[in-house]
Amino acid sequence: MRILFVGDVMGTVGQTAIDEYLPKLKRRYKPQVTIVNGENATRGRGINQQVYKALLTAGADVVTMGNHTWDNNEIFDLIGEAKKLVRPLNFPAATTPGVGYTVLKVNAVQLAVINLQGNVFMGQNLANPFTTVQPLVDELRQTTPNIFIDFHAETTSEKEALAWYLDGQVSAVVGTHTHVQTSDERVLPAGTAFLSDVGFTGPYNGILGMTRENVLERFLTQMPTRFNVQEDSPAVLSGCVIDVNERNGHAQKISRILINPDHPYFDD
Amino acid sequence: MRILFVGDVMGTVGQTAIDEYLPKLKRRYKPQVTIVNGENATRGRGINQQVYKALLTAGADVVTMGNHTWDNNEIFDLIGEAKKLVRPLNFPAATTPGVGYTVLKVNAVQLAVINLQGNVFMGQNLANPFTTVQPLVDELRQTTPNIFIDFHAETTSEKEALAWYLDGQVSAVVGTHTHVQTSDERVLPAGTAFLSDVGFTGPYNGILGMTRENVLERFLTQMPTRFNVQEDSPAVLSGCVIDVNERNGHAQKISRILINPDHPYFDD
Amino acid sequence: MRILFVGDVMGTVGQTAIDEYLPKLKRRYKPQVTIVNGENATRGRGINQQVYKALLTAGADVVTMGNHTWDNNEIFDLIGEAKKLVRPLNFPAATTPGVGYTVLKVNAVQLAVINLQGNVFMGQNLANPFTTVQPLVDELRQTTPNIFIDFHAETTSEKEALAWYLDGQVSAVVGTHTHVQTSDERVLPAGTAFLSDVGFTGPYNGILGMTRENVLERFLTQMPTRFNVQEDSPAVLSGCVIDVNERNGHAQKISRILINPDHPYFDD
Amino acid sequence: MRILFVGDVMGTVGQTAIDEYLPKLKRRYKPQVTIVNGENATRGRGINQQVYKALLTAGADVVTMGNHTWDNNEIFDLIGEAKKLVRPLNFPAATTPGVGYTVLKVNAVQLAVINLQGNVFMGQNLANPFTTVQPLVDELRQTTPNIFIDFHAETTSEKEALAWYLDGQVSAVVGTHTHVQTSDERVLPAGTAFLSDVGFTGPYNGILGMTRENVLERFLTQMPTRFNVQEDSPAVLSGCVIDVNERNGHAQKISRILINPDHPYFDD
Ligand SMILES: [Fe+2]
Ligand SMILES: [Fe+2]
Ligand SMILES: [Fe+2]
Ligand SMILES: [Fe+2]
Ligand SMILES: [Fe+2]
Ligand SMILES: [Fe+2]
Ligand SMILES: [Fe+2]
Ligand SMILES: [Fe+2]
């Protein structure tokens, strides 16, 4: 099974990049399943019905989220129904709408897609991602060894720790949230593919995609400033492709995808 | 001018990697100056005289530091004398021994090497890196346009912000601290080379180079655990090469270097 | 010299308490100078011209601020002119409007009032309060030994540390920001009056004066919620009175004031 | 039922204060149960067998802990057996030795004593205190309405929020951890006694009980410094007395106790 994963789509720049490149990437890599992180899809803050549907139309099979899940209030209109929308598993169990994972039929087998959030420097007090995900993984493995985790977290230590913790138990742990792709893709010894952060999909000339002027003003003046998506910018698209042996769920290979003005896409 | 920069050398695994690969990298890339971050060089925590000298012997022209500068008490034996050791510029001015930058003669010109630390999530209250580095850059540019900054910081936002802030004023802003290399190397529009994090040089199979067992225990139990360098591991070496036009200080190119068991070094 | 200091006035509940009790407190304690923290005065977030003037009319001689200084945009209409408004001294020097201290004539002598902000857990990267305030204190003491500091900070450690650091150099270090009065008022050995936090002036039945329902929702759901001032509540007024020997600036006594439904005000 | 609670006993200064004043306080207030926080009892960091037994001998019926629970490794020698030692309930359930609450027989009724830790700014990732304590309170109330909670937390907002959340469900929520007593003791409308922080028991002239010189050095230099208990200091003892109606568990009254050189103890 081949999985294509694309990092945090941000605003119209990100959506346009998805519309343009996702079909091309699918033709080239022929993934059986495509997962897209959408926590910044609607104007940089959360997601709404229209953009969620647009991502599905563009080719996403599952949309994962993160700490910005609730930033756009319109999410409450769709989260109860949206079967392909997955928010972090370790949000408070009793009060959080939506689901923390979904199981897809891919080829003749099943793939579970989990969204999980880190705790270090994330500004929310969530259930421990390690001890929360372990029983779910145990349960899912009764059904399928093919498990993909979008681990939305800040620090490289928490990301590496989770990947080693689950090595051999899941097919992939791929990080999101920093909006910058790391180059540490590897398959760990027991068969779990890992990449600290897949990077984001949005304005190449913003600061994490936000307007440079406003972000710099905050660092310089320490005053509250309003950030917006840096719309007047070419796009970056960040992703990765993972090949999984469906019989045992072990990853065989993970490769990064990075398209931006310095690394343009070529149809070979 | 070509600059070779190697990220956080960690413990004997990192030192051994330096001894093995630094000569090879110098033969291949022929840098005129080599900068090595040494904040974790002595058993993962700070640096002492012996390891500092070993890094110089292995080929470093300058050794930069970071938040772990003071972790090994033996640094106080050398920091007053060590002309090639640079600790973060924005440590408290009145009380901090050592220097925050140094100026080297490279070819017929001068290169200033600045070490700077971020503030977001770094657990120390330092002077604002933006407003602290700007007057120094102004002053240095009276003498030379060739300025390299090792920006030791946690978040991608602070790193991107500093690079855009100084774009055109310095030759390069390269991040350290996360121990994971990012793949976002680029030359910004006004001529500053940027890489969010160059990555580290040490055990490939630790968690940020530390013993997996102990780091995982802390995430699972939330008890204090003692971390040590994961010595029983092959090495990763992370670095980058930057070409600078000496006449105007503008970067022409930045390329990443990554050597590990999944990306072995080959003498072509 | 007797100084009356009243903690963070919050919303209309706080303003009403000021209007009602400040005249009574002045009649009873006969302070020569009255200082009021106003960082939450306008609807819980910052201050505007109207409320600033109302606090002066009600009897404040100086209005101090804190981390919420910029929450109400209308402050920019007044901060350039408002001679009695003092924002934290250690905000970025180059870009911050307003002043970090003011000097008043009280009796025949001068009193300097400084507003200073802590760094630990305050979410802003400000200049080190210790090393920033020391040169100002040195300078002010050329003119007057009578110096009052409103230290707006979160942790008891930073507050106690600053008070001991300045003991004998200033007349008083009184904390604000936690909105809860502490009972540790004392005069330190070298003559500086200290109180970790004077407490706030606003709704007695909110959570730090904010609507209980919304604050609890955030703790329970970890979702972003909008906080408002809990207006349907009786008031608390928190303050202290400090007696200073004007000749040497040493505090002679510090006493707390706390008025709330459990400790009602009685005109004896 | 009358409960006496004494805050964080720190080092030999704190232990000596306990030995001297606890018998006197018991004679004066005649509590039926005495609870002492001991997280800093052994040299300021954690607790060991000897000091735990000394606290019981001095008159404690229960010893509560906090974020420093594991700082002294000797705790592992006793925590399995020590029936009167209670560590935070919301430590990781699967891996944490010891218990998060205990039930005592007091008079003819039962009193449950819970230790709970906050999450905001506490540097550990624990289970949400609100959602973790609620089911335990529900369960305990099947047996007894008399429930005392030592809520070990940093921020006044989390403390006030928990108290309002549990108002009417427990007899008392009393905070510890900041080492500074607050003056906001009250009985909330539905019958829960509340005090944000009871304060600590240890050196009056340290910074939170630690050596001033070392704490100041850290704030000034931002270098790691080793803190020790400020042993050459008179003592402060901080506590409170709560009267509970045993039939419905409602608090009738809460009064603070503060003994220090500025408020000496007098046997009237
Ligand atoms: Fe994002
Ligand atoms: Fe995020
Ligand atoms: Fe570091
Ligand atoms: Fe490092
Ligand atoms: Fe406030
Ligand atoms: Fe504040
Ligand atoms: Fe404590
Ligand atoms: Fe504590």
Instruction: Give me the percent of chain B exceeding a pLDDT of 70.
Output: 100
The predicted-structure confidence for D135-194, as pLDDT tens digits, reads as follows 999 999 999 999 999 999 999 999 999 999 999 999 999 999 999 999 999 999 999 999
| Separation of CA C198 and ligand 6 centre (Å) | 12
B138 in Cβ contact with B162 (< 8 Å):
no
Which is catalytic among the residues A68, A152, A179, A250? Answer: A68
Judge contact between D194 and C195, C-beta under 8 A. no
Tens-digit pLDDT profile for residues B94-120: 999 999 999 999 989 999 999 999 999
C223 lies in some domain: yes
Look over chain D and give the mean of its residue pLDDT values, rounded to a whole number: 97
Q: What is the pLDDT of residues A189-248, one digit of tens each?
A: 999 999 999 999 999 999 999 999 999 999 999 999 999 999 999 999 999 999 999 999
**CA–CA separation, D29 and A94 (whole Å):** 43
Residue C199 in tokens = 């407490």
Q: Is the pLDDT of residue D1 over 80?
A: yes
Residue of C nearest to A218 (CA): C124
What is the Cα–Cα distance from A31 to A104, expressed in whole angstroms? 14
Spell out the long-range contacts of B134-142 with Cβ–Cβ below 8 A and sequence spacing 24 or more: B136/B89, B136/B100, B136/B101, B137/B166, B137/B169, B137/B170, B140/B101, B140/B103, B140/B112, B141/B169, B141/B249
Residue contact D95–B126, C-beta within 8 A: no
CA atoms within 13 A on the CB side of B88: 31
Q: Is B131 on the interface with C (CB under 8 A)?
A: yes
Ligand 3 centroid to B106 CA: how many Å? 28
Is residue D264 a part of any domain in this protein? no
State in Å, rounded, how far the first CA of chain A is from the last one.
23
Which of the 8 DSSP states describes residue A137?
H
Confidence of residue B14 (pLDDT cuts 50, 70, 90): very high
Q: What is the pLDDT of residue C267?
A: 74
Identify whether B267 is part of a domain.
Answer: no
Q: Which residues of C touch A95 (CB under 8 A)?
A: 220-221
pLDDT score at D268: 63
**CA A40 to centroid of ligand 1, rounded, Å:** 5
Residue of B121, B154, B212 with shortest CB distance to A164: B212
What does the pLDDT look like over A68-104, one tens digit per residue? 999 999 999 999 999 999 999 999 999 999 999 999 9
pLDDT band at B72 (very low <50, low <70, confident <90, very high): very high
ipTM of this complex prediction, to 2 decimal places: 0.97
- Please report whether residue A190 resides in a domain: yes
Give D247: exposed, middle or buried? Use CB within 10 Å, 0-12, 13-18, 19+: exposed
User: How much is the CA Rg of chain B, to the nearest whole Å?
Assistant: 17
Is there a contact between C92 and A222 if contact means CB atoms under 8 Å apart?
yes
Give pLDDT, residue C268: 63
Which chain D residues contact residue A128 at CB under 8 A? 92, 125, 127
pLDDT, one tens digit per residue, over A162-172 is: 999 999 999 99
Task: Please give the structure tokens belonging to residue C73.
Answer: 């945009």
Query: pLDDT, tens digit, for every residue of D82-95?
Result: 999 999 999 999 99
In this structure, what are the phi and psi dihedrals at residue D72, rounded to the nearest 5 degrees? -105, 115
CB < 8 Å to B100, chain D: none
Do D120 and A119 count as a contact with CB atoms less than 8 A apart? no
**What is the Cα–Cα distance from C147 to C109, expressed in whole angstroms?**
11
CA dihedral of A46, A51, A57, A61, whole degrees rounded to 10: 10
DSSP 8-state class, residue A77: G
Contact by Cβ (8 Å): D114, D149: yes
**Any alpha helices (H) in A73-153, and if so which ranges?**
129-140
Average the pLDDT over B84-97 and give the result.
97
Please state, as a whole number, how many other Cβ atoms lie within 10 Å of the Cβ of residue B32. 16
Q: Please check whether residue B117 touches C, CB under 8 A.
A: no
Tell whether D80 is within 8 A of chain A (Cβ): no
Q: How does pLDDT run across A142-153, given as a tens digit for each residue?
A: 999 999 999 999
pLDDT reported for residue B266: 85
- For the stretch B172-223, pLDDT in tens is 999 999 999 999 999 999 999 999 999 999 999 999 999 999 999 999 999 9
Contact (CB, 8 A) for B247 and D117: no
pLDDT lower than 50: segments of chain C:
none
- CATH classification of the domain holding B244: 3.60.21.10
Number of A/B CB contacts below 8 angstroms equals 97
How many whole angstroms from D114 Cα to the centroid of ligand 7?
A: 17
Residue B238 and residue B198 in contact, taking contact as beta carbons nearer than 8 Å? yes
Note whether C131 contacts B: Cβ–Cβ < 8 A. Answer: yes
Select from D116, D119, D125, D134 the residue whose CB has the most chain A CBs within 10 Å, as the one to mutate to test that interface.
D125
Residue A91 within any structural domain of the chain: yes
CB proximity A256 to B under 8 Å:
yes
Query: Which residue among C130, C157, C258 sits closest to D220, beta carbon to beta carbon?
Result: C130
pLDDT of residue B267: 74
Domain encompassing residue B34: 2-259
Distance CA A190, CA A168 (A): 4
Neighbours of A53 (CB within 10 A): 13
DSSP-assigned letters across all residues of D173-190:
EEEESSSS-BS--EE-TT
Place of tokens 């949000």: A91
Tell me the C-alpha to C-alpha distance, in Å, between residue B109 and each of B21, B144, D183, D253: 27, 8, 65, 77
Given strand D101-106, what is the order of strands in its sheet?
D101-106, D109-117, D147-152, D172-176, D193-195, D186-187
Q: Is residue B265 part of a domain?
A: no
Answer yes or no: is C238 within a domain.
Answer: yes
The CA distance from B128 to A219, in Å, is: 8
Chain C residues within an 8 Å CB radius of D222 = 128
Burial environment of residue B83 by CB neighbours within 10 A (0 to 12, 13 to 18, 19 or more)? exposed
Q: Is C108 on the interface with A (CB under 8 A)?
A: no
Task: Tell whether C128 is within 8 A of chain A (Cβ).
Answer: no
How large is the average pLDDT for residues B38-54? 98
A229 in any annotated domain: yes
Conformation bin of residue A264: beta by default, left when phi > 0, alpha when psi is -120 to 50: beta
Domain count, chain D: 1
Residue pair C161/D215 in contact (Cβ under 8 Å)? The answer is yes
Dihedral sign, Cα of residue A66, residue A68, residue A73, residue A74: negative
Q: What's the mean pLDDT in B74-87?
A: 96
- pTM for this prediction: 0.97
